[in-house]
Structure 1
Amino acid sequence: MYLLRLALASLNNRRFTALLTVFAIALSVCLLLAVERIRTETRASFASTISGTDLIVGARSGSVNLLLYSVFRIGNATNNIRWDSYQQLAGHPQVKWAIPLSLGDSHRGYRVLGTSPAYFQHYRFGRQQPLQLAEGRAFADDPFEVVLGAEVAQSLGYRLDERIVLAHGVAKVSLVQHDDKPFRVVGILRRTGTPVDRTLHINLAGMEALHVDWRGGVPARGAGRVSAEQARALDLQPQQITAVLLGLNSRIATFALQREINQYRGEPLLAVLPGVALQELWSLMGTAEQALFVVSLFVVLTGLIGMLTAILTSLNERRREMAILRSVGARPWHIAGLLVIEAFALALAGAALGLTLLYVGIAVAQAPLQQLYGLYLPFGWPSGYEWRLLGAILLAAVLMGAVPAWRAYRQSLADGLSIRV
């Protein structure tokens, strides 16, 4: 115990250098834990986005691309699926339910998804959790009704019965607004922590109504325009959609149906298993993850080397102090232990401050990260892996502290009493 008091008194005597060392270690620990926390939560967020869906079907492209635009609303489809192809898929004997998805429009940077009521009945996220409405109801027969994700409603301040105007395309700033066909908010979904929170959901008929008077990718002008009331009276069955989510009667038939869809002769289609596509996505990102983790480790190593340098630099200044300690009865291993305890105390203080900085950073960045990237960083105790990382840092600090401890151990009493200039 007396060695600990001596170590703390010695650090207090060199408080400025000690505080700089602690702060350097804290920043490196905070960076390491932040990288690990973001990596873990990103994986969990992606994995919990969709569950209970056996196959995702879209135009033939890449499996990762299909997963990204159909589930995560990232990127765009290379092509669409004909409506008659969707009907054949939905009517297949092995298909229990089918959810059509139509993308292409947006509202103030948030994606608009055209779908059917089956979306609210069969879509699952997390551990088979269904979508639930916080307010209002799902859209019905009126094509100009919209159900908002929780993040859309919160960030834009929308309430039930408000009128909103959708925009053509997916840019945050669009020059083409569907201002002649406003939508009424009829429902707001509960928060899910998935891209559903950042999506506006409309009926497929509503998506068709928005573009019923478009020709060649541009809206008609003058007499060619179709008003919202006129659109309601038209046949608004879509001619094509972006993708389809399929739930099967038996998972045993998944691979057989996947092969059948991939060989479909009506048009080039691609069917992927969500879990397999997600693993492929992580395999592509694995190298970047490891590289970022290694960089963080080197930053921690740099902080510990700074601590080692500070202790070694102070050895010459502390020769007389150590000689006095020896003269009053301290043994060589007491001197060595004193320096090891100092190194451990600096690393422990740095780790504690690093954890504090991490949680302060989470508190500050939690809302922006969720709003901009859909990444939710929860407050919580460090995981077992994070505790092991902290333990490894403390162990590395003790090992590094053994270097100046060994040098101090070998210093003789005479060397300490006769300072060399």
Structure 2
Amino acid sequence: MSILQLALKSLNNRKTTALLTILSIAVSVALLLGVERLRVEARNSFTSTVSGTDLVVGARSSSLSLLLYSVFHMGNATNNITWETYQDLTSDSAVAWSIPIALGDSHRGYRVVGTSQEMFPYFRYGNDQPLAFRSGMPFDDLFDAVLGSEVAASLGYQLDQDIVLSHGLESTSLQEHDDKPFRVAGILKPTGTPMDRTILISLEGIEALHVDWINGAAPNAMLAVSADKVRSMSLQPTTITAFYVGLKSRISAFRFQRKVNEYPQEAMTAILPGVALGELWQLVGSAEKALLAISVMVVIAGLIGMLTTILTSLDERRREMAILRSVGARPGHIFALMMIESMIYGVAGVILGVLFLYGLLFAIQPILQIKLGLQIAIALPGTFELLFMVAIIGCATLLGTVPAWQAYRNSLADGLTIRL
């Protein structure tokens, strides 16, 4: 009988204790690999929120503030940009395309973004992916709206359904634009970005909502302009919140950025979204390191538990070791037996932990997509994760040297001695 077969039979004889030890290692492995997978996917989702956009331009503010309200739709702009300034800057010969956005309204806690038709062919996220429709099409009518996937799923909206937008950003606004309802013209596919939690309408639609508002105050019944009447009005935007810029050549990015930052008519800021996203991740990414450290400590605790279990069982196995010695097993065989048992604990714990992890990922992937907009890819373990697994198996085997050395030193006479 080989030492491996002997180790398996020995563990089978103590299967309850062995299974509990393997389970504790598996849980710690699943936690460690799960945190690592979440960390990688969260960073990928975060940094790929916007792709293919060379510059984001808004009113003078910090780069992080501009990034938050223009890309993540969090917070408010310090000021708006006049439409004339937008047209002047985007007429630069270096500009290939531009996407204006206007913020301010909401619907049941979801942000309403006014934009142009250029949003659909030119906006990119992830690995240079364009926006795609699950159903419907881009807005075409003045009162058309395109819903992000999370908005449609959480509110249960369907195509051609009427929705009423609210003034301001409160989830329970008291000022609703109920005289000008919008029709759901399209629903986007999930992107894993803030676009999933956005309602897109035209810039003219934004103007139509507020054409009869004066200084931010709702109109009274006598001054209100109906939806039918507003269609005949000139709805040229007067201001926008920010705009995305795609350049014909990235070589001109710094020149155009300097032009925006030094624009004499208005105080504005142009940022490189990739750089700003990196800066923002440095601020919010510290939590990932803390989670990873906690997971490593849990794995260490699991391995120490394994070591404790083996050491505790040694006193009960002294006679077993003595019998093995009496039938010809050398001290080296005893040492190898204990080492192989520790390695089996590590290998079985890692395999079971991986199975736990993938089962959990299959279960929570839809929930994370809907609730957090986080797309967790269910793929084979990466290089870093494989290194974690090998390291855990190596540590388990290495820790096995402690009980192996103690068993090695036990003498045959000591093992056969009956203790009173």
Identify the TM-score tier after normalising by the shorter chain: over 0.9
Cα displacement string for residues 271-300 of structure 1 (whole angstroms, at most 9, x for unaligned residues): 111111122122223433222212211111
Q: State the distance in 2 between where 1:60 and 1:313 align.
A: 67
Q: State the distance in 1 between where 2:4 and 2:334 align.
A: 12
Normalized against structure 1, the TM-score is what?
Answer: 0.94
Residues 136, 221 of structure 1: alpha-carbon distance in 2 compared, 3 angstrom cutoff:
same
3-state SS of paired residue (1:224) = coil
Q: State the distance in 2 between where 1:344 and 1:222 align.
A: 79
Q: How many residues end up aligned between the 2 structures?
A: 420
Q: State the distance in 1 between where 2:242 and 2:44 align.
A: 24
Q: State the distance in 1 between where 2:419 and 2:79 align.
A: 80
Q: State the distance in 1 between where 2:3 and 2:207 align.
A: 78
Q: Structure 1 stretches (4+) deviating beyond 6 angstroms?
A: none
Contact 1:319 1:419 in 2 (8 A): no
Q: Which residue in the other structure is 1:370 paired with?
A: 369
* Deviation for aligned residue 1:152: 2.8
* Deviation for aligned residue 1:229: 1.7
Corresponding position: 1:352 with 2:333: no
Residues 128, 11 of structure 1: alpha-carbon distance in 2 compared, 3 angstrom cutoff:
same
Contact 2:153 2:370 in 1 (8 A): no
Contact 1:262 1:271 in 2 (8 A): yes
Q: State the distance in 2 between where 1:405 and 1:385 align.
A: 30
Q: State the distance in 2 between where 1:113 and 1:218 align.
A: 20
* Deviation for aligned residue 1:401: 0.9
Q: Which residue in the other structure is 1:119 paired with?
A: 119
* Deviation for aligned residue 1:115: 0.1
Cα displacement string for residues 7-30 of structure 1 (whole angstroms, at most 9, x for unaligned residues): 222222222222222222111111
Where do residues 142-221 of structure 1 align in structure 2 (5 Å cutoff)?
142-221=141-220
Corresponding position: 1:400 with 2:413: no
Q: State the distance in 2 between where 1:172 and 1:26 align.
A: 43
Q: State the distance in 1 between where 2:394 and 2:39 align.
A: 24
Contact 2:138 2:185 in 1 (8 A): yes
Matched AA of 2:125: F
Contact 1:164 1:182 in 2 (8 A): yes
* Deviation for aligned residue 1:312: 0.8
Where do residues 21-420 of structure 1 align in structure 2 (5 Å cutoff)?
21-140=21-140, 142-420=141-419
* Deviation for aligned residue 1:370: 1.1
* Deviation for aligned residue 1:266: 2.0
Normalized against structure 2, the TM-score is what?
Answer: 0.94
Query: Percent same amino acid among aligned pairs?
Result: 58
Contact 1:147 1:185 in 2 (8 A): yes
Cα displacement string for residues 381-418 of structure 1 (whole angstroms, at most 9, x for unaligned residues): 11121111111100010011111111111111112112
Residues 395, 172 of structure 1: alpha-carbon distance in 2 compared, 3 angstrom cutoff:
farther
3-state SS of paired residue (1:93) = coil
Residues 408, 242 of structure 1: alpha-carbon distance in 2 compared, 3 angstrom cutoff:
same
* Deviation for aligned residue 1:302: 0.9
3-state SS of paired residue (1:113) = strand
Matched AA of 2:192: G
Q: State the distance in 1 between where 2:383 and 2:171 align.
A: 40
Q: State the distance in 1 between where 2:414 and 2:169 align.
A: 75
Cα displacement string for residues 54-101 of structure 1 (whole angstroms, at most 9, x for unaligned residues): 100112222123223222233333332222221222222322221101
3-state SS of paired residue (2:77) = coil
Contact 2:47 2:278 in 1 (8 A): no
Contact 1:320 1:419 in 2 (8 A): no
Residues 340, 369 of structure 1: alpha-carbon distance in 2 compared, 3 angstrom cutoff:
same
Q: State the distance in 1 between where 2:25 and 2:62 align.
A: 43
Residues 7, 167 of structure 1: alpha-carbon distance in 2 compared, 3 angstrom cutoff:
farther
Contact 2:146 2:188 in 1 (8 A): yes
Q: State the distance in 2 between where 1:216 and 1:294 align.
A: 52
* Deviation for aligned residue 1:33: 0.8
Matched AA of 2:37: R
Residues 420, 285 of structure 1: alpha-carbon distance in 2 compared, 3 angstrom cutoff:
farther
* Deviation for aligned residue 1:116: 0.5
Runs of 5+ unmatched residues, structure 2: none
Instruction: Give me the CA root mean square deviation.
Output: 2.0
Runs of 5+ unmatched residues, structure 1: none
Cα displacement string for residues 284-328 of structure 1 (whole angstroms, at most 9, x for unaligned residues): 234332222122111111111111111111111111111111111
* Deviation for aligned residue 1:349: 1.8
Q: State the distance in 1 between where 2:77 and 2:238 align.
A: 16
Q: State the distance in 2 between where 1:16 and 1:65 align.
A: 56
Q: State the distance in 2 between where 1:38 and 1:68 align.
A: 22
Cα displacement string for residues 317-371 of structure 1 (whole angstroms, at most 9, x for unaligned residues): 1111111111111111211111112111122222122112211221221112111
Q: State the distance in 2 between where 1:227 and 1:414 align.
A: 102
Q: State the distance in 2 between where 1:177 and 1:3 align.
A: 77
* Deviation for aligned residue 1:258: 0.7
Residues 83, 419 of structure 1: alpha-carbon distance in 2 compared, 3 angstrom cutoff:
farther
3-state SS of paired residue (2:400) = helix
Per mean C-alpha deviation after superposition, the further-off stretch among 124-133 and 160-169 is 124-133
